[in-house]
Amino acid sequence: MMESKVFERTSNGEQEISPRLYNLTIGATLCWGFLVNWLMVDNISVESILAIHPLAFIIGYFASCFLGVFLFRTSSNAFVSFIGYNLVVVPFGLIINLVVSNYDSSIVLEAIQVTGLVTVVMMTLGTLFPAFFQRIIGALTIALLVVIVVEVVQVYFLDIHQQWIDWAVVMIFCGYIGYDWGRANQIPKTVDNAIDSAAALYMDIINLFIRILRILGRK
């Protein structure tokens, strides 16, 4: 996660909006990302994605994601941040398409419901205890990096995947949702900050959804 000193952000002259409009902008931006992903799953075949050369897919995926993150993290222009957000949403949509194709639609729906409930709970906790999540963000980042390394070693060198990895990632991204939502309420309420916050929350929620789907799929 590319976290800037978000709690230290101050107004840069951009006009602030009302708290209601600010939260509405975050929600609308999130819904836009989820809608794009749904349209991609519904209209892009898995076969067409698998037909892309693996190296080209990996390079394109990371290039788009890193460029998108760079844009919405560094830009104070809402339009540029929204472009960056979409550069993250599209490659994530391809991964979601590949993942959900392996599961029955009823399990996918259950995973969406569980993810939604967990997200609401963590947003509530992030609102009530923002300082707590700010304190643990360093530990969350280290834990995520460790889990990624362990998972890569297990999958690519040991040819195994232990279920505790998925549970660990779920807990980590629950923490990130609480942190990013608490952060969203600490910084100036501008349209650009709303889009930046939505982008961070989008990545948290999608990662959470994929892991919950894998856990439910094992039942």
DSSP strands (E only) in the chain: none
Split at pLDDT 50, 70, 90, the class of 4 is: very low
Where in the chain are the domains? 17-217
What mean pLDDT is predicted for residues 111-135?
A: 96
Provide the mean pLDDT of the chain: 92
**Using CA of residue 62, residue 113, residue 38, residue 71, what is the dihedral sign?**
negative
Q: Helix or strand or coil: residue 45?
A: coil
More confident call, 45 vs 10: 45
Average pLDDT in the 37-50 region?
96
Confidence band of 96 (pLDDT split at 50, 70, 90): very high
pLDDT for the residue numbered 158? 81
| Across 188-214, average pLDDT | 96
Alpha-carbon span 102 to 139, nearest angstrom? 33
| Confidence (pLDDT) at 159 | 79
Question: First CA to last CA across the chain, in angstroms?
Answer: 30
CA–chain centroid gap for 135, Å, is: 20
Q: Considering the chain, what percentage of its residues have pLDDT values greater than 90?
A: 86
| For range 80-101, the mean pLDDT | 97
Question: Do the Cβ atoms of 88 and 101 come closer than 8 Å?
Answer: no
| Gap between the Cα atoms of 1 and 66, Å rounded | 10
Helix crossing, 19-43 with 191-217: angle to 10°?
50
Sign of CA dihedral 125, 179, 175, 197: positive
**Which position has the token pair 């993942």?**
99
pLDDT at 156: 83
Alpha-carbon span 158 to 166, nearest angstrom: 17
* Dihedral sign, Cα of residue 81, residue 1, residue 29, residue 24: negative
